[in-house]
A and B are shown apart, each in its own frame.
Chain A
């Protein structure tokens, strides 16, 4: 079975879908359907998409609420759970109002003026999981999705994992993964990713392995903020985490 793969820019990063299917035409169709799913989910979840549930919430006056579509419902339920479990450290409001939103019965309510949401720290993992589920349903024997550092793989073949040296370039092979998810993030003075609530001067690379990409992605943020008190959470979610404090001088 040949490896079929394509990559397109989505979710503010490069999104790569790889698969093996006994029928190459079905494999090609699964790749096409994968990017169509990403387009739809980005349209529902990205704050940069005017018709997304998130953009519509951001435009709401305080005290108002809106009905969420299933994708946003799922992601926000996880975000609410993580927010409560982490004492507010997991904050999808970018510091604008960690407690300024509530989710109940599929409705998202703005409880504080000025609260705006951004799913940049969790939605990529969710989309990767959805893609993996779709590849399985399409009859792929093996599949992997990588959204710029949020990765999940299923099937018999392990996937080599690489981490980038964020200061000098080049990749380091750190192991291999089968039937699971792996996420890595880099937070430093010259990285585009920003972490609300992080200490100034933070220069850290983190990686999390977990059964699903949604949790790996979200837990990366908590791990980067410091692991104190999070180990029970990691155990509960069957996740493993690594942190490397970067010394640019080396």
Chain B
């Protein structure tokens, strides 16, 4: 074991926190290719849920949070293999962007973290801070070095991810019933 410590470890409270910390793992597109390896094409579809569809989702005990969803449909030839949906959740001090793949049979196909961002408490409440992260998973990743953090306390956000997965599976189910999935 080789451990090198900054001299101030004895008084962490006296150290200034470092700047923004973010890790980009993969794009939504890469996650789709990983989860639907046999697909030969993907089709993006924007879906705006109407009031009746939102109500149907709420009736299943899931808060739909947003009426606007982007579905990434995976096809092999004419056959629809499934759909991937990217979303993000806010934890205690972090924003986690993730993607959920659901097979044509309605079963969960995969779950991948696309990006992780750790913030200071005051930033997380700022819409501007959140906005700069939105859509980043689809666009060019911001390169912030190749650090890997030993961050404790990520358990909280993980339960948010779990809730988000339930939401997405329900939204995809609703999309199927609405005849949007081929």
Interface residues of A (CB under 8 A from B): 3, 5-9, 12-14, 16, 18, 144, 146, 148-149, 151, 158-182, 184-186, 191-193, 205, 209-211, 238, 240, 242, 244, 246-247, 250
**Contact B4 A171, beta carbon cutoff 8 Å:** no
**Contact A9 B17, beta carbon cutoff 8 Å:** no
> From A190, which residue of chain B is reached at the shortest CB distance?
B92
**Contact B3 A9, beta carbon cutoff 8 Å:** no
> From B146, which residue of chain A is reached at the shortest CB distance?
A3
> From A191, which residue of chain B is reached at the shortest CB distance?
B153
* B113 interface residue (CB < 8 Å to A): yes
**Contact A169 B1, beta carbon cutoff 8 Å:** no
**Contact B17 A165, beta carbon cutoff 8 Å:** yes
* B18 interface residue (CB < 8 Å to A): yes
Some 14 contacts from A to B, beta carbons below 8 A apart, are A5-B148, A8-B113, A9-B161, A14-B116, A151-B150, A162-B150, A166-B152, A170-B17, A175-B5, A175-B6, A177-B2, A178-B1, A179-B1, A209-B3
**Contact A7 B151, beta carbon cutoff 8 Å:** no
**Contact B12 A174, beta carbon cutoff 8 Å:** yes
* B174 interface residue (CB < 8 Å to A): no
* B9 interface residue (CB < 8 Å to A): yes
How far, in angstroms, from A192 to B21 measured CA to CA in the complex? Answer: 22
**Contact B121 A168, beta carbon cutoff 8 Å:** yes
**Nearest-Cβ distance from residue B182 to partner chain A, whole angstroms:** 28
- Count residues of chain B with CB under 8 A from any CB of chain A: 50
Question: Which parts of B93-125 form the interface with A (CB within 8 Å)?
Answer: 93, 96, 98, 111-113, 116, 118-124
B residues within 8 A CB of A9? 98, 111, 113, 158, 161-162
**Contact B25 A171, beta carbon cutoff 8 Å:** no
**Contact B155 A146, beta carbon cutoff 8 Å:** no
* B175 interface residue (CB < 8 Å to A): no
**Contact B25 A172, beta carbon cutoff 8 Å:** no
A residues within 8 A CB of B153? 148-149, 164, 166, 186, 191-193
A residues within 8 A CB of B17? 165, 168-172
> From A238, which residue of chain B is reached at the shortest CB distance?
B1
Given A14-B96, A151-B150, CB of A158 within 8 Å of CB of B2: yes
**Contact B152 A149, beta carbon cutoff 8 Å:** yes
**Contact A164 B93, beta carbon cutoff 8 Å:** yes
* Contact among B13, B96, B152, B161 with A186 in the assembled complex (CB-CB below 8 Å): B152
